[in-house]
Structure 1
Amino acid sequence: MKRIAHISDLHFGCTNPEVVDGLVAELNADRPDLIIASGDFTMRSRRAEYVQARAFLDRLVSPWIGVPGNHDIAYFALPTRFFRPFRRYRRFIDARTEPTFVDDEIGVVCLNTVRSWAWDADWSQGRLSHDQIARAEARLAAFPDNVFRIVVGHHPFIAPPWNAKARRVGRADTALAAFQRQRVGLTLAGHLHRHYSRFVEGSDVRTDACDAASGHRLLAVQAGSATSTRLRGMEPNAYNRIVVENGAATVTVRLWNGTAWEDAALTPEGL
């Protein structure tokens, strides 16, 4: 059995200090086997924000792995955004933007979905390249057969239940087909600041690229914002507590109630 904490959209520079301290205390008391952070460590990629994010990570006793989000590259310094977009991320968070973790039970492949430019001018939206997907599939294939496979990105791999036509990460359908071929059990992402989760269906995947995915179930999970004051809808700060056991993942959403973290009530969308 492996216990994972999935946190996302921290947005240092726009956080509630009480929630930050509460999250550190919760994670250090719970001591998950691995903490997975799915992007947006900062609000505007400023140096002071990265210093705060690094200080938060240094307070955690469990090992962690993560990916950058679109807020982790420069918004206003255009030369930096285009030519050295991940300079501060590499300095303060991790020299790698696509790290891998593997032990005797789980294997994690991280994908950098952030783009510093976009043809449609909306560079806040993410995209995967064909080369990234191919490399990810090769990394997944190299894991031992018995490990439970997890893929992490910042932008959503599936649309939210309240908007089935919402934009997903670019080439999500191709990526999901590759993940299913490699028997990935779980994808984790953030970006929308709201939790939702469901099993990937045929309509989510490029069927012509999914010949080896028959019968495999892939659960896609989104996280709310763990510490940011930029909340969406009525959802408070939240993170996901995940248990991987016997080839399956169980997800519990933990919500900040104003003074402490507590389990969310189950909804019709379920987990």
Structure 2
Amino acid sequence: MHGQAAVMRNGPLRLFHISDIHFGLEDTRALDWVKSCIETEKPDAIAITGDLTMRARHPEFRAACEWITALKVPVTVEVGNHDIPYFNLYQRFFAPYKRFKAIERLVETELDLPDLAIVPLRTTTRAQYQRFPWSNGWVTERALRHTLDAIDALPSGTRILIACHHPLTERRADGKLLTINGTRAMEALAGRKVMGVLSGHVHDAFDLTEQTAAGPLRMIGAGTLSKRIRSTPPSFNEIVVEGDQVRVTARNLAKVPTRAMQIDEVPENALPPREPREPVAPIATVPPVDPPVH
């Protein structure tokens, strides 16, 4: 599915990259601020990279859909692991996206801007035979092929950003398994000269370059707009694309500089760092206890 953004001017394109809103545990002050930024600044498009809800409950989805449909800007929405029903196993396996109905036209929608496409890549699955729990990513061959086909169908010279929920890093330096098939996905995307991969999931921002067999691939992560913080205050990414350059600013109410908001390694999950090896952003806004999970 495609969304045509109504942008007729030349010059840089400005995108807002939002992730991990987690309605049910949302930070209302942060959400009001972001909504005000959108209304005032009118970015060319918004990429929401998953985890709209905390537990995929109906009231959480209603709140998320109302907030998103009020945005008067082209939007693409990715599905996060928290957006697949936890308690209704029938819906999880047979109708996992039913609760997205109010915004289904935005879900996994390619956004076509002037000489730039934001192409979705699904990283969530209903189940994973390789491990439990099923919170981390898996790029299935079917999902990867769908994305690559969409890229290959674009006009020659189109700049490309990928939007997904999970960072594509497959393993951490200490060997912990993160996104299954992430290495192959990164190599395939690097081979197609993708400018960057936008993701969320870990609740801290990052801007890293992964080296693959097909060349480098830039990985850009957004923080959270929920009360479930990891080591940084709530934030979103402002992304400016000009020519072949991509500039990222991690905007936040605390006015912390971008570099102080970004971690240097992809962590295992969104929980606050408790072990010496776990990545921590320079600002180190680590909650003293793990945030609630309702």
Instruction: Report the Cα offset of residue 165 of structure 1.
Output: 4.0
Alpha carbons 1:151, 1:186 under 8 Å: kept: yes
- The correspondence of residues 189-208 of structure 1 with structure 2, limited to 5 A, is 189-202=199-212, 207=213
Residues 252, 172 of structure 1: alpha-carbon distance in 2 compared, 3 angstrom cutoff: same
1:218 match: secondary structure: strand
Equivalent-residue separation in structure 2 for 1:159 and 1:132 (angstroms): 16
Moved over 6 A (4+): none
Alpha carbons 1:110, 1:151 under 8 Å: kept: yes
Equivalent-residue separation in structure 2 for 1:127 and 1:154 (angstroms): 10
Equivalent residue number for residue 133 of structure 1: 144
Equivalent residue number for residue 112 of structure 1: 122
Instruction: Report the Cα offset of residue 93 of structure 1.
Output: 2.6
Q: 1:49 aligns with which of 60, 81, 84?
A: 60
Equivalent-residue separation in structure 1 for 2:73 and 2:206 (angstroms): 25
Alpha carbons 2:23, 2:226 under 8 Å: kept: yes
1:115-155 per-residue CA deviation (whole Å, 9 max, x = no partner) reads 11111222112211112212211211111222210111101
1:58-109 per-residue CA deviation (whole Å, 9 max, x = no partner) reads 22222111111011111111111111111102x1332464321223221111
Q: Could you tell me which amino acid in structure 2 is paired with residue 4 of structure 1? A: L
Instruction: Report the Cα offset of residue 2 of structure 1.
Output: 0.7
Q: Could you tell me which amino acid in structure 2 is paired with residue 185 of structure 1? A: M
Equivalent residue number for residue 154 of structure 1: 165
Alpha carbons 1:115, 1:125 under 8 Å: kept: no
TM-score, normalised via structure 1 length: 0.86
Residues 96, 35 of structure 1: alpha-carbon distance in 2 compared, 3 angstrom cutoff: closer
Instruction: Report the Cα offset of residue 220 of structure 1.
Output: 0.6
2:85 match: secondary structure: coil
Equivalent-residue separation in structure 1 for 2:258 and 2:123 (angstroms): 31
Q: Could you tell me which amino acid in structure 2 is paired with residue 231 of structure 1? A: I
TM-score, normalised via structure 2 length: 0.79
Alpha carbons 1:195, 1:224 under 8 Å: kept: yes
1:94 match: secondary structure: helix
Q: Could you tell me which amino acid in structure 2 is paired with residue 229 of structure 1? A: K
1:218 aligns with 2:229: no
1:25-75 per-residue CA deviation (whole Å, 9 max, x = no partner) reads 012212110100000011111111111111111222221111110111111
Alpha carbons 2:21, 2:226 under 8 Å: kept: yes
User: How many pairs are equivalent?
Assistant: 251
- The correspondence of residues 186-265 of structure 1 with structure 2, limited to 5 A, is 186-202=196-212, 207=213, 213-214=214-215, 217-225=216-224, 227-233=225-231, 235-257=232-254, 262=255, 264-265=257-258
Instruction: Report the Cα offset of residue 168 of structure 1.
Output: 2.9
Residues 231, 121 of structure 1: alpha-carbon distance in 2 compared, 3 angstrom cutoff: same
Q: Could you tell me which amino acid in structure 1 is paired with residue 250 of structure 2? A: V
RMSD: 2.1
